[in-house]
Structure formats: structure tokens, C-alpha cells
Amino acid sequence: MDAEDKQRFATLAGAVAERRDQQAFAILFDYFAPRLKSWLLRQKMTASEAEELVQEVMIVLWHKADLYDATRSSLSTWLFRIARNRRIDLQRRARARILDEDDPALQPTAEIGADELVANGDRDAQVREAVSQLPEEQREMLRAAFFLGQSHSEIAESTGLPLGTVKSRIRLAFGKLKKVLEAENA
């Protein structure tokens, strides 16, 4: 491409930017679309991906021709840079979509067997019984922390107790629960 072609293309891009000149755009499309597609095919893109990306680049030219600055680069350089960046974005998105089939998060959860359900039920009954043996103030602290999801600070605020007292009661409750449950399972 010589200096005369560069100037002609810059003028046509200016016409697209200023007046949405369809004829100027058609000339630019006819010249650059096949060259962009050929370059993208050499970059290991499929024909349909290359065509789609060329369409995107040419849409950028139509909508954002006013961003092209002929003093900074030729129109060819500007369009190929857009194509290159879009191709890189496409590749990044494609890599992000690849899933690892062995990822544990994607595996179905194992069904719980009948023996495990019975054991869980027995353990739940033991924990309920152990909690019922706690003093009322410790039971309330556990209920607020684990069933209502309150933080120690929120429990202190709602009960009017000092934070240290809340923490101590929860710690004492755990100690008592541990002793009761260990004695039952021994």
C-alpha cells in the first residue's frame, strides 16, 4: 500500500466518521474485509469465526470511525490492531469456558446410604439431648450464634452482655457439649 492509498483510505474513513457515507464504507469494506479474513485464517481461526470477527471489526469502523487518527497510524494498521485485539479476547473467552470434568465441584454428590441416615439421626438426637442439659444462658448463646447466624458482637449487642461474657458462655457450652457427647459415645 503506497502513500496515495493510505491517504485515500484515511479520507474514506473520514467520510464514514463525518457523514456515515455508505459508499465510502462499501469501498473500505470491499478492500479490507477479505484481507482481514485472510489474516485471521492464517492465525488459525475457522472460516466462520474469521468472518464473524471481520464483521465485528467493520462494525467498529462504521460506528467508531471518528476514533481513527490518520496522524497516528494508517487505517490498515488501525483495523488490523482491532482485529488482533478481538481475536485475543475471543481466545481468552474460549479458554475460560473449558471445564475440567474431574473438578470435584462439578461432580454429583454421593447419595447418603440408609446406615448413614440412621447414624446422622442418632447423632442429632444425642446433640439435642446434650444441648438440653446446658444452662439456659448458654443454650441461648448457641442458638443465636449457630441457628440465627449472629456474630459474637451482634449477640452482645442484642443481649446487652459484654462481648467477653458472650464468648465465655459459648466456649463453656462447647466444653460441656464435648464432655457429654464423649461420655455417650464411650
Q: Mind listing the pLDDT tens digit for each residue in 39-84?
A: 999 988 889 999 999 999 999 999 999 998 888 889 999 999 999 9
Residue 185 has pLDDT above 80, yes or no: no
pLDDT score for 97 = 66
What's the whole-number mean pLDDT along residues 142-163?
Answer: 88
- How much is the pLDDT for 20? 93
Please tell me the predicted confidence (pLDDT) of residue 141: 86
Residue 57: burial class (beta carbons within 10 Å; 0-12, 13-18, 19+): buried
Given a cut of 90, is residue 33 above it in pLDDT?
yes
- pTM for the complete prediction? 0.52
Q: Are 164 and 130 a contacting pair, CB within 8 Å?
A: no
